Amino acid sequence: MQEQLYQEAVALLKQLIETPSFSKEEDQTAELIIAYLDKYQVPTKRLGNNIIAKNKYFDDAKPTLLLNSHHDTVKPNPKYTLDPFKAIEKDGKLFGLGSNDAGGCLVSLIATFIYYYEKENLKYNVMLVASAEEEISGYNGIEAAVNILPPINFAIVGEPTKLQMAVAERGLMVLDCTAQGKAGHAARNEGENAIIKALKDIEWFHSYRFEKVSELLGDSRMTCTVIETENKQHNVVPSSCKYVVDVRLNELYSFEEILDAIRQNVSSEVKPRSTRLRSTSISLDHPIVQAGIAMGKTTYGSPTTSDKALMPFPGLKMGPGDSARSHTADEYIYLHEVEGGINDYIEIVGRVVI
């Protein structure tokens, strides 16, 4: 059966590549996923562009495992030399937008769900959510879907990790900061230059080190990525200077602790865009992690954020492909990675649910 599932997974992945599915515009790929599940007579529920399915013998009295990956993509990198919306097989690779992030993971998890769909007497229910808006951390993606799911005990989140186990990942908080000054004429040394105030704070963001260092994720980091003023003229001392700080925190800090430290040390006004994308981790003693270790898999902390950050239950991030290829020009996944993804997902799930 696994060989058939692999062939079908590759065919589905090709269809997904050739169907544009930018975040918030995933309606056509949602229909493709529903159509594929229909072939196996799997009932589905659609919430926006999220597709939800339960195994045939779902039992409310049992704990539940969620299989999740996303079907939205970023817009193509401008350096593409190939057609991003054409699935091209060459030298054992499948090229196309979303092939690696996260199409290979998604079709492998769908294949795994189908493998277990009709199996009876499992220790866990198995649910599938093919989610939307992951690339923009949208409110109508996995976060909305989780709100209508039955209680979930843990999840496997499909992202390209070379099929190793990301047992922790950094949280993300984006800060909009404003330093206030006083306008004046540059020629007369008037005013109070907001840029100078901003630079003092930016230097603090650059040099400050948080005390708690994670064994999995290292330290928490803050990086200024944008700076601007309202000025259009060279001879006006700016009255305000706005800048953006990208904060990547480890699992040892909460957003509130980070914000408290920042506000004690900078004079700028600091406003977080969101405190939703928290750092997460799953215990090394968790059965799904122990199953992976028994298979010879390694564990690590991921520097990138995924939908796992929006799940109020433990999650293991793992999948075929390589995160280094995500969002790059001429994105691709190796076909053997998809085959390995299906085989490894089926095995790691089986070690827990059978």
Q: Which tops the pLDDT comparison, 79 or 189?
A: 79
Contact status, residue 253 vs residue 220, Cβ threshold 8 Å:
yes
Count, residues in the chain: 354
User: In this structure, what DSSP letter does residue 100 have?
Assistant: I
C-alpha dist (Å) from residue 161 to 89, 268, 288, 324: 22, 38, 16, 9
Residue 316, classified by CB atoms within 10 Å of its CB into exposed (0-12), middle (13-18) or buried (19+), is buried
Helix pair angle (2-17, 335-353), 10° resolution? 120
**pLDDT (average), residues 68-95:** 97
What is the average per-residue pLDDT within 29-53? 98
Which tens digit of pLDDT belongs to each residue from 278-321?
999 999 999 999 999 999 999 999 998 999 999 999 999 999 99
Summarize pLDDT for 193-250 with one digit per residue, the tens. 999 999 999 999 999 999 999 999 999 999 999 999 989 889 999 999 999 999 999 9
Q: How far is CA 37 from the centre of its chain?
A: 24
Inform me whether the pLDDT recorded for 188 exceeds 90.
Answer: no
Q: What is the mean pLDDT of residues 118-136?
A: 98
The string of DSSP letters for 148-161 reads: TSPP--EEEE---B
Whole-angstrom Cα distance, residue 351 to residue 347? 6
Give me the pLDDT at residue 73, please: 98
